[in-house]
Amino acid sequence: MKQFLSSLIVLSLFSLPIYSHAEIANNIPDTEVFLTTKQAAEQGDAAAQDKLGGMYDEGKGVAQSYSESFKWVQKAAHQGNAEAQATLGMKYEEGKGVAQSNSEAFRWIKKSADQGFSIAHVTLGRMYEAGKVVPQSYTGALKWYKKVAEREYAESDPVANANAAATTVAYLNLGGMYHKGRGVTQSFSEAFKWYKKAADQGNAYAQFSLGTMYEEGKGIAQSNSEAVKWYKKSAEQDNTSAQFLLGTMYEEGKGTPQSNSEAIKWYKKSAEQGNASAQTFLGTMYEEGKGTPQSNSEAIKWYKKSAEQGNGYAQFLLGMMYEEGKGTAQSNSEAVKWYKKSAEQGNASAQLNLALLYDDGIGVHQDYNKAVEWYKKAAEQGNSSAQYNLGIMYSNGLGVRQDHVKAFEWYKKAAEQGNISAQYNLGSMYYDGEGVRQDYAKAAEWYTKAADQGDPSAQNNLGLMYRTGLGVQQSNRQAKEWFGKACDNGNQNGCNGYRKLNQ
**pLDDT tens track for 60-111:** 999 999 999 999 999 999 999 999 999 999 999 999 999 999 999 999 999 9
Question: Average pLDDT in the 274-293 region?
Answer: 98
Picking from 321, 320, 327, the residue whose alpha carbon sits closest to that of residue 352 is 320
Cα distances (Å, whole numbers) of residue 363 to 133, 322, 358, 366, 493: 51, 11, 8, 9, 38
Please check whether residue 221 is in contact with residue 188, taking contact to mean a CB–CB distance below 8 angstroms. no
**C-alpha 76: how far from chain center:** 45
* 54 within some domain: yes
- Considering the chain, what percentage of its residues have pLDDT values greater than 70? 92
pLDDT at 156 over 50: no
By CB atoms closer than 10 A (0-12, 13-18, 19+), residue 329 is exposed
Cα distances (Å, whole numbers) of residue 124 to 11, 94, 117, 118, 341: 15, 15, 11, 10, 40
Picking from 209, 193, 213, the residue whose alpha carbon sits closest to that of residue 150 is 193
Picking from 134, 206, 215, 130, the residue whose alpha carbon sits closest to that of residue 169 is 206
Query: What pLDDT was estimated at residue 441?
Result: 98
Q: How far apart are CA 415 and CA 384, in angstroms?
A: 8
Please check whether residue 5 is in contact with residue 126, taking contact to mean a CB–CB distance below 8 angstroms. yes
Q: How far apart are CA 377 and CA 348, in angstroms?
A: 7
Q: How far apart are CA 456 and CA 450, in angstroms?
A: 9
Q: How far apart are CA 6 and CA 125, in angstroms?
A: 10
Question: Average pLDDT in the 139-154 region?
Answer: 83
Please check whether residue 138 is in contact with residue 182, taking contact to mean a CB–CB distance below 8 angstroms. yes
The residue type found at 440 is Y
pLDDT band at 151 (very low <50, low <70, confident <90, very high): confident
Helices (runs of H) and strands (runs of E) counted in the chain: 28, 0
Query: What pLDDT was estimated at residue 26?
Result: 54
31 Cβ contact list (under 8 Å, min separation 6): 61, 62
Total Cβ atoms within 10 A of residue 7: 10
Q: How far apart are CA 82 and CA 72, in angstroms?
A: 14
Please check whether residue 387 is in contact with residue 419, taking contact to mean a CB–CB distance below 8 angstroms. yes
* 174 within some domain: yes
* 8 within some domain: yes
Please check whether residue 92 is in contact with residue 108, taking contact to mean a CB–CB distance below 8 angstroms. yes
pLDDT at 12 over 60: no
CATH code for position 11: 1.25.40.10
pLDDT band at 159 (very low <50, low <70, confident <90, very high): low
* 104 within some domain: yes
Query: What pLDDT was estimated at residue 150?
Result: 84
pLDDT at 22 over 80: no
* 185 within some domain: yes
Is the Cα torsion angle 7, 12, 18, 21 positive or negative in sign? positive
* 53 within some domain: yes
Q: How far apart are CA 109 and CA 92, in angstroms?
A: 10
pLDDT at 351 over 80: yes
pLDDT at 164 over 90: no
Helix (H) / strand (E) containing 242: helix 240-252
**pLDDT tens track for 210-230:** 999 999 999 999 999 999 999
The residue type found at 329 is A
pLDDT at 302 over 90: yes
pLDDT at 439 over 80: yes
Which of 265-271's residues contact partners 24+ apart within 8 Å by CB, and which partners? 266/235, 267/243, 269/235, 269/238, 269/240, 269/243, 270/240, 270/241, 270/243, 270/244, 271/302, 271/305
* 72 within some domain: yes
Mean pLDDT of the chain: 92
Q: Which residue has the higher pLDDT, 232 or 151?
A: 232
Q: How far apart are CA 436 and CA 146, in angstroms?
A: 65
* 503 within some domain: no
CA atoms within 13 A on the CB side of 445: 10
Number of domains in the chain: 1
Q: How far apart are CA 148 and CA 172, in angstroms?
A: 11
- Give the domain extent around 70: 1-201
- Output the DSSP codes for 128-154: HHHTSSS---HHHHHHHHHHHHT----
Picking from 36, 20, 21, 105, the residue whose alpha carbon sits closest to that of residue 70 is 105
24 Cβ contact list (under 8 Å, min separation 6): none
In the three-class reduction of DSSP (H, G, I as helix; E, B as strand; rest coil), residue 164 is classed as: helix
Quote the pTM value. Answer: 0.84
DSSP tag of 397: T
- Considering the chain, what percentage of its residues have pLDDT values greater than 90? 89
Please check whether residue 357 is in contact with residue 369, taking contact to mean a CB–CB distance below 8 angstroms. no
